[in-house]
C-alpha cells in the first residue's frame, strides 16, 4: 500500500472514531450535569433555607452511554447521612445507571460560643448563630437564640457545637412547694383539685405532687406553670 493510500486510511479511521468517542463523552457529561441539577433541586425543595452542595462521583468514561433521546428520569435518592445513590434512567433507548454522590446541607443554627459545663444556665453570652453542616444532625436544633435562653445544659457542650434539644433542659415551670391545680380527665369530664409540688419540674415532665384534699402523693405531668395533669 502506497503512502497516499495509507494517509487516506488514517484520515478515514480518525474521522470515524473521533466523533464516536466524543459523542460518548458528551453523553456522560450531560448525564452528570443533569444528575447534579436534579439532586440540588431535590434537596433544595426539602430544605429551602439551606445551602446545598452536591459532589457527584465521576462516571467512568469506560462506560459507553447511548445518546438519550428523551429527558432523563431520576429516582428519589437512597442512602444514609451525606452519601446517597441515585438511579438515572433513559426512556429511549432504554438504559439505566446508578450514580453515587455526597450531599451537604448548610444552614444557620445556634451553637455554643465557648465550652459550656453541665448545668450551665444558658444566657445570650453563651450562644451565637453560625452556618453549619446540618447533614449529620439527628436531633432537632435551634435557629433562634431567644428560644433557649434560660434553659440548662444537661451535659458539657464543646465550643462551636450545634445545640440540639436533647442537650438542654427547659426552664422550670414548677418549683418544689408551689401550689398547683391537679387536673384529671375521665370520659370527657375534667375534674380539678388543689395540690402541692413535691419536686421541681419543667414542661412535659412527670413530677411528684400531693393532693391537698386526700393527702395522696401521685405522679403528674407539668402542663404549664401552676397546672399539672394526673394520668
What are the pLDDT digits (tens) for 93-139? 999 999 999 999 999 999 999 999 999 999 999 999 999 999 888 88
Check whether residue 63 and residue 9 sit in a common domain. yes
Q: Say yes or no to pLDDT of 57 above 60.
A: yes
Which of 81, 105, 129 terminates a domain? The answer is 105
d(CA 140, CA 162): 10
Q: Say yes or no to pLDDT of 6 above 70.
A: no
The strand pair at 179-186 and 227-229 is best described as parallel
Coil, strand or helix at 3? helix
Check whether residue 29 and residue 95 sit in a common domain. yes
**Segment holding 95, helix H or strand E:** strand 95-112
Are 228 and 182 contacting, i.e. CB atoms less than 8 angstroms apart? yes
Tens digit of pLDDT for each residue in 146-175? 999 999 999 999 999 999 999 999 988 999
d(CA 87, CA 74): 6
Tens digit of pLDDT for each residue in 205-226? 999 999 999 999 999 999 999 9
Q: What pLDDT, on a 0 to 100 scale, did the predictor assign at position 25?
A: 57
Structurally, the chain folds into a number of domains equal to 3
Mark residue 45 as left, alpha or beta (left: phi above 0; alpha: psi -120 to 50; beta: remaining). alpha
What is the pTM for the complete model shown? Answer: 0.64
Between 188 and 13, the higher pLDDT residue: 188
Q: Say yes or no to pLDDT of 4 above 80.
A: no
Check whether residue 149 and residue 203 sit in a common domain. no
Q: How many helices (H) and strands (E) does the chain have?
A: 1, 14
Could you tell me the residue range of the domain that residue 165 belongs to? 106-169
Amino acid at each position: 500500500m502506497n503512502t497516499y493510500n495509507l494517509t487516506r486510511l488514517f484520515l478515514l479511521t480518525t474521522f470515524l472514531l473521533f466523533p464516536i468517542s466524543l459523542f460518548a463523552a458528551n453523553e456522560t457529561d450531560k448525564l452528570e450535569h443533569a444528575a447534579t441539577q436534579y439532586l440540588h433541586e431535590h434537596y433544595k425543595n426539602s430544605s429551602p433555607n439551606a445551602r446545598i452542595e452536591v459532589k457527584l462521583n465521576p462516571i467512568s468514561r469506560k462506560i459507553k452511554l447511548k445518546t438519550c433521546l428523551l429527558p432523563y428520569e431520576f429516582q428519589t435518592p437512597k442512602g444514609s447521612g451525606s452519601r446517597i445513590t441515585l438511579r438515572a434512567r433513559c426512556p429511549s433507548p432504554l438504559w439505566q445507571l446508578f450514580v453515587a454522590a455526597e450531599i451537604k446541607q448548610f444552614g444557620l443554627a445556634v451553637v455554643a460560643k465557648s465550652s459550656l459545663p453541665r448545668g450551665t444556665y444558658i444566657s445570650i453570652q453563651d450562644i451565637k448563630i453560625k452556618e453549619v453542616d446540618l447533614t449529620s444532625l439527628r436531633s432537632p436544633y435551634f435557629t433562634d437564640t431567644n428560644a433557649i435562653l434560660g434553659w440548662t445544659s444537661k451535659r458539657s457542650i464543646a465550643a462551636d457545637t450545634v445545640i440540639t434539644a436533647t442537650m438542654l433542659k427547659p426552664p422550670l415551670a414548677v418549683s418544689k412547694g408551689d401550689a398547683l391545680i391537679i387536673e384529671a380527665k375521665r370520659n370527657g369530664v375534667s375534674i380539678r383539685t388543689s395540690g402541692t409540688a413535691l419536686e421541681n419540674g419543667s414542661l412535659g415532665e412527670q413530677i411528684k405532687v400531693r393532693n391537698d384534699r386526700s393527702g395522696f402523693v401521685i405522679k403528674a405531668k407539668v402542663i404549664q406553670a401552676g397546672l399539672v395533669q394526673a394520668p
